[in-house]
């Protein structure tokens, strides 16, 4: 993850609080309304793209979710607004014509290459075209990020409020007392105790993009495909969406609806529980001996011990999740509340430490609510007026995967059918 500079993901324990404070500060309620509004706008555009496609169905589900998530992040975090485009039209190979979104898309897609080979080694004249494209995107992305930092710093120095996105808060964390290097070099200038250096800001911008984009996109792709396989859960969702939104147009949906869409939360949480994008959390014990209780025993972990708690293991433990822990059942997250049992639905609050897709404790993900708002808005918008069906691939079909990740979901070819307003949804116990 050390591609552009140190970040909250790569620094040691001594520097971590400084980075964590700078990164977590922007994720406040003021930014969430932007997340909500942009998620709805992008989802409407994605639905239009899906419904205007061929009869082959949706063959690029995962890439579409990545595009949606990337666009939401770009506008709410960095005020870079883009219209939704299907994955076949997203990458641009023409040198020098990439937008911030296009460069970021390629860097994310080939991040493993950049973790192994510094991008400055991928831009030479003898570099193969496939690798040169990655190097160009990585170089362009740094240029875009530097431009953002420079413009925000200039605006703030003039007493202006800045763009109001995450980038504004990160630039406010810039250590003004430390000489900053803004050239093309990769040397890191050490910041003061409270601020960040330019390279540290670049590193954290990339980490926010990377962590906030791919994990959410993967989970949303799983959720939509699972819903395609469970039409009764789609009906269950549609019932809530119709009731809560009162059939208002999506353009009139207020952010206040977010907390009321409990079943949309439940679908997202259940997908994260059974199919977490990160199955383990690498940890290391502090400078003191740590006591760990395992059953009736207490183990003493020496300082500096590397551990790897298994998220999937605890999230599918029958001791906490009942006799069907591997079954995708969103209704397990809904519990009755209120004076009259069953009249009001509330979300289950899991026992501490049994549900941790965003990690837990002081090192929990700063963008936790960001991802929840994005997911709930997307699910509510998708299933307001449409339902999703699996499309069976015929034996003589000649369609081949057009992108590497498609092999994982091949066989879940989907198409859309309008949801009739008079259709009767099933009982809330469905799912």
User: Which positions make up the binding site for heme?
Assistant: 365
Q: How many CB atoms lie within 10 A of CB 346?
A: 12
Binding residues: 365
What size, in residues, is the chain?
431
How many CB atoms are closer than 10 A to CB 228?
22
Q: Which among 217, 215, 81, 209 is positioned nearest to 145, based on CA atoms?
A: 209
Please tell me the distance from the alpha carbon of residue 372 to that of residue 32, in angstroms, as a whole number: 10
Dump the DSSP string for 207-229.
Answer: HHHHHHHHHHHHHHHHHHHHHHH
| Under 8 Å between Cβ of 396 and 40 | no
DSSP 101-138: HHHHHHHHHTHHHHHHS-GGGG-STTS-HHHHHHHHHH
| Beta strand residue intervals within 286-372, DSSP E | 290-294, 297-301, 306-307, 334-337, 344-347
Q: Tokens at residue 345, please?
A: 């639905």
């Amino acid at each position: 993850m050390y591609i552009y500079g140190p970040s909250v993901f790569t620094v040691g324990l001594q520097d971590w609080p400084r980075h964590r404070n700078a990164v977590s500060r922007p994720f406040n309620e003021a930014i969430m309304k932007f997340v909500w509004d942009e998620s709805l706008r992008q989802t409407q555009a994605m639905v239009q793209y899906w419904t205007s496609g061929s009869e082959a169905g949706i063959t690029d589900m995962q890439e579409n979710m990545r595009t949606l998530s990337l666009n939401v992040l770009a506008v709410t975090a960095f005020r870079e607004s883009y219209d939704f485009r299907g994955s076949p039209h997203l990458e641009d190979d023409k040198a020098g014509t990439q937008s911030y979104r296009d460069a970021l898309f390629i860097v994310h897609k080939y991040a493993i290459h950049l973790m192994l080979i510094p991008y400055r080694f991928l831009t030479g004249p003898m570099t193969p075209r496939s690798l040169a494209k990655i190097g160009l995107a990585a170089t362009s992305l740094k240029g875009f990020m530097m431009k953002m930092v420079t413009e925000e710093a200039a605006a703030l120095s003039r007493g202006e409020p800045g763009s109001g996105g995450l980038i504004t808060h990160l630039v406010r964390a810039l250590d003004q007392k430390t000489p900053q290097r803004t050239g093309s070099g990769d040397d890191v200038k050490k910041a003061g105790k409270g601020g960040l250096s330019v390279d540290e800001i670049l590193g954290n911008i990339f980490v926010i993009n990377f962590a906030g984009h791919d994990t959410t996109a993967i989970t949303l792709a799983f959720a939509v495909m699972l819903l395609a396989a469970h039409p009764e859960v789609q009906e269950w969702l549609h019932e809530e969406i119709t009731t809560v939104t009162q059939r208002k147009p999506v353009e009139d949906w207020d952010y206040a609806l977010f907390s009321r869409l409990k079943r949309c939360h439940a679908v997202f949480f259940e997908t994260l529980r059974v199919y977490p994008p990160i199955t383990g959390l690498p940890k290391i014990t502090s400078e003191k001996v740590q006591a760990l209780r395992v059953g009736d025993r207490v183990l003493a972990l020496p300082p500096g011990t590397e551990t790897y708690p298994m998220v999937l293991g605890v999230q599918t433990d029958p001791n906490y999740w009942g006799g069907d822990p591997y079954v995708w059942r969103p209704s397990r997250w809904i519990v009755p509340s209120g004076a009259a049992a069953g009249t009001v639905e509330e979300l289950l609050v899991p026992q501490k430490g049994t549900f941790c897709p965003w990690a837990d404790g002081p090192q929990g993900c700063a963008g936790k609510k960001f991802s929840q708002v994005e997911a709930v808005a997307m699910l509510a918008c998708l299933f307001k007026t449409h339902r999703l069906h699996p499309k069976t691939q015929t034996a003589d079909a000649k369609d081949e995967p057009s992108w590497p990740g498609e092999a994982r979901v091949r066989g879940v070819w989907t198409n859309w059918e309008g949801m009739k307003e008079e259709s009767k949804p099933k009982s809330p116990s469905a799912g």
